[in-house]
Structure 1
């Protein structure tokens, strides 16, 4: 029976018996003695560049946490930077020996991985509790409860975040950063959650703290860019994309984010170049094909926009919004019959989509089928009475039917 990789979501490779590191992704396997000392127990956290592994220090039987750089996703320069940062953190930890604090106690290389070791400092005697500390770092947990240590606030925060229970997740991440102020993952999770609950300025501070712990992580630079976009600080946002791409020139999400911001600022050619680069790197990203289609549509390149939205539909054929977009492109190409078919497909997939009903009404209006257009506008307005364009176009259809008083009333609603 082989050894299954601890990263069951991202790798899940079945390795040969007695293997120490995963053949596919390179991280230590359960039971591996890292540097003949730290026995890996489980995996409790992971991101693009690192994994977090609770372990037992075989020298004293105590529980520790390993932060391991993913060998397959890191360069030699990144491993050297990681170890330099770990050495600095170890030096700083020697001056932070208060009970409950999380300190870096060791670092090094073993096989393909670079790692650092963190543990919780506990005063060993009444004299130390009174302020007379010794250099010993003694975690509270032992082998029997290392899995309880593994159940940490970071894991709880990640679980609640995935469930969209953001207020609870934020409390968990705050507890995680208190428990381990050096946890980049906890600060990053806190930042993402703060952004979700509309506290962008605080989210920016959280990501800044995470970046101070790992300034070479493109994911963090990309996340910081998202916050700055929310704050409409676009020049700083673009700087973050530049930093992400400096550390990973093949990071598709930085290229796509850069493209979307350039498109919003009217720099369409630069945006299209960024989308092209993103799609060369990852052609399975539906949202990038959609963004490219929207950008091409904005500069009246309807044939190209149609090709891009078809690529998006190949990836997500049940996405009503994509069918709606395709219908709008076809209407601009003076093909109202085909456009109506696309918009009807959108209403079948999502009958509560007011915009799709509105767009179907526009197709019927262009085909001079005014009574049917009026029915579609009424359906759209029953779903969203604030849709001013639907009130206005409804007024135009009523005027075409010589129902002028009703048309004036519809125009009044459009102006409300």
Structure 2
């Protein structure tokens, strides 16, 4: 019982010293208070095992509230019965054990009979650990009041301003920055390391990394410093560098358990299951149950993914990839690259290409993982293997062959890579030969060349589209449409295939089908004048086939200026759709709107655009009842159908599109 009391008094004194450090209150006063009332705090010291997230944090050895221990303290070994883990503490480590519910660090004061934190009673006027001033009890009033500081100065947690007057000396971020600068100039690596730990606790990972770098310069053979640097790199999501730093820590101390744990966690996130196993089960280290469960789950999903890939079940491949990522392999470049491959095989080429930008970046491959196998081939070779397929699917044939050959150099024993190289060389040669024959107007022979490439790569949309061009030149428009359909099944937004199918339908007199394709193309390429003109002629042909009047329809081009009211009336009385733009050239709103009207004129050639400057013809404003500038009126076959007053660009285009072909 006496021993428990000594422990309680010791920790109360620690709390007192920290409160003094933060709030600048008289040490003797606070110590007297806590020693008087400490018997109301039924607490004992409880050591708790860390969560799995703590494994990637710097190694804090200190038991004091968030302040690093001096290097003179003796290292000791501590074990937790909850998991069986054995940790060896070293100089410079950050302890994985903590005392909860402190505003400074993750420490715990718990009741011996209840798992809930014990309630602490404070007399009025006392400063609580949360920094809140309790005022609901009887209090001895001071002659000079204490108030919480406020204003433009950055204060520390619970800072006190005496007398409610001017602000006290700031104790928050400004002081920490100054302390970090001062520590960085120190020649004592422990001082620098402690400053790095403080920055890490405050999530200033870049600054913590800088300080750890300085500590390593001063003491390059300290494994704990390397481990701390790895924790900062992990927080900055530079996982490959963090793993290299852990390997360097193990080179300095092969028995450093903390570095093994860090590496196991990092390799698990990188999807390298075998490497993670080596470090999770190293020496006498008992694996963390949570990390062991994560590893088993990731291994299971990667295995299922590999089996599904082997039989070509790409939907299941995608499902297992997402499951493995959710299980913990959230930074595995190989899994993300496998997702790209699955999307390619499912003919989702645009999504596959965009997914390339989401692959976790790694500056270099680790020595220990450079020969790691993934789906039976070396990991680095797999990147080139998938990249070659992306290049081939998007028409970059030469780049595809180069990437495939690079994969073969990295993993010459892979049968899958060898087959890919052979196929891509044949496809690239067939495409090059077909293009040469097409340019020589030997279209039948060009078709045969493209046939050879398609036998090796039956999902190549580029070869289908090229062969469709040959059939078009041979006036075999039905066969051209068939090849365009195959290409669009693989790549739905393939503009060249849409253009050739539209042109083939036009030649066959299928005006409605041609209009659909041209309208799709106009949405994809709204400012392409050639597409707009082709759409206009397809609309005219469609109207003719229906017996509608088309004699006065002309392809647009420019906004026509109207000089008088009589010219306006005679023009809008003609058949067709006219958009009349009432403006004043000197007005800012009109200067901003006019370029967009010109764009609409090119975008919707079936509509005629007219412009009337009412500053030059004010009588027109009175006759047409124009009050707000700019105003738009839409006429169809001589009758006004819509009026828009100062419309937004979106509303104006929506209305124009509605009355276009």
TM-score, length-normalised on structure 2?
0.29
TM-score, length-normalised on structure 1?
0.41
Bigger radius of gyration: 2
